[in-house]
Amino acid sequence: MVLAPFNVSYSAGSPSFSYIPQRDGDVTTTWNASFTASSVWPAGGADPASGNGFPYRRTQASSASVSFTFIGSALYLCVTPNGAKYAFQVDQTLISSTASGSDPACSTVGAQTTLVAEGLDASQSHTAILTVNAAPGNEFQFLGGQATLGVTSAGQTLGRNVTVDDQAPNWNMFPGRGANQWDSHTGLTGHFNDSETFSCLYNPDQPQTATLPFSGAGGVVLYGGIRIAHEFYTITFNGKSYPVDASSQWQEPHLVLFAQGGLDPNAQYSISVSNFNPQHRECNPNGGVWPCCVTIDGVVLLAPGPPDPDTGASGSSPGSRSAL
């Protein structure tokens, strides 16, 4: 099986990133969610709609980290260290390779530096950990990154990717669509088909679940949104479940929630999202007022490419450093 590189960009708000000690809190002790063109969130602040610019996480803590697990051949992280100390490891190996913030992987978000890990085995899972030692005068900023996934290929020209919008009939919604089930917003800019589908009913016993069966793809990318709410949910792909915490005090309407390459175009797969995370049995155990929500925007099925005339295999050409 030949794997062609395909780049997927992840904003700092993506639940694919795990933040320690917390993903959003006091900047002096943990990571704090902010936007590049908005005022940082005040302590106990009000409820803005969406931030302006690009989402990022900042910290002044003496000990903080962000981790990311993926299957692919390369990873590029976008950072502005501001003099803070940091270490970047992939599979427990220290990585010192860097590029400027103008590197294609990070050029749109205004980062100072691109951390570069290349030459990885595209068929294997890798874990990257970025550890930070910051201070009030040396605030470290993390602006997301880009992963190079492997899309099943025989080196042919990339075929047309297929977007399955949240409103498509292919989705199986439990218990159904409508009020108090999987509800929808329409007329939204920056979304697939200007719509999103969401659930804000958190039921541990019968979680509201949206499932998309599919085949014929060399890879898959799930897009969704982040609301000003608790975001405790579970993504399940091909029988493997990934508990998610995407909670934030900022909204982000369109971002990557999950991506996977190296799929067999001849196999059947399914991806599902359930509005329940077993690590958070209760939505508000301390009596808070935020609901627990999950928002789906759609799925992009990555084309495996046309059949190889000699072998009958499917293929797609290597992509540039631009990204989906």
**What is the tens place of the pLDDT at every residue in 23-53?**
999 999 999 999 998 866 554 444 545 778 8
For the residues 279-284, what does the mean pLDDT come to? 89
Task: List, as one string, the DSSP characters of 115-147.
Answer: EEE-S--TTSEEEEEEEEE-BTTB-EEEEEEEE
Better-scored residue on pLDDT, 189 or 239: 239
State the pTM of this model: 0.90
- Residue-wise pLDDT tens digits, 37-96: 886 655 444 454 577 889 999 999 999 999 999 999 999 999 999 999 999 999 999 999
Q: How does residue 309 score in pLDDT terms, banded at 50, 70 and 90?
A: very low
- Fold for 162-302, please state it: Jelly Rolls (2.60.120)
pLDDT of residue 74: 98
Rounded Cα distance, 314 and 162, in Å: 16
How many Cα atoms within 13 Å fall on the side-chain side of residue 212?
Answer: 25
- Phi, psi of 194, deg, nearest 5: 55, 35
CATH number of 2-153: 2.60.120.260
d(CA 117, CA 260): 18
Largest Cα–Cα separation, the chain: 64
Contact 231, 257 (CB under 8 A): no
Q: Specify the pLDDT at position 284.
A: 80
20-23: long-range pairs with CB below 8 Å, 24+: 20/64, 20/65, 20/66, 20/67, 21/61, 21/64, 23/57, 23/245, 23/246, 23/247, 23/248
Tell me the helix, strand and coil percentages in the chain, rounded to 5. 0, 50, 50
Kindly write down the DSSP assignment for every residue of 265-322, as one continuous string: TTSEEEEEEES--TT-SSS-TT-----B-EEEEEEEEEP--SBPTTT--B--PPP-S-
CA distance 156 to 8: 20
DSSP 229: B
Say yes or no to pLDDT of 322 above 60. no
Q: What is the mean pLDDT of residues 183-207?
A: 92
Spacing of C-alpha 15 from chain mean position: 5
pLDDT in tens, 89-132: 999 999 999 999 999 999 999 999 999 999 999 999 999 999 99
Q: How far apart are CA 25 and CA 283, in angstroms?
A: 18
For strands 240-245 and 294-302, give the pairing.
Answer: unpaired
Segments making up each domain of the chain, as ranges: 2-153, 162-302
Is 69 in a helix, a strand, or coil? strand
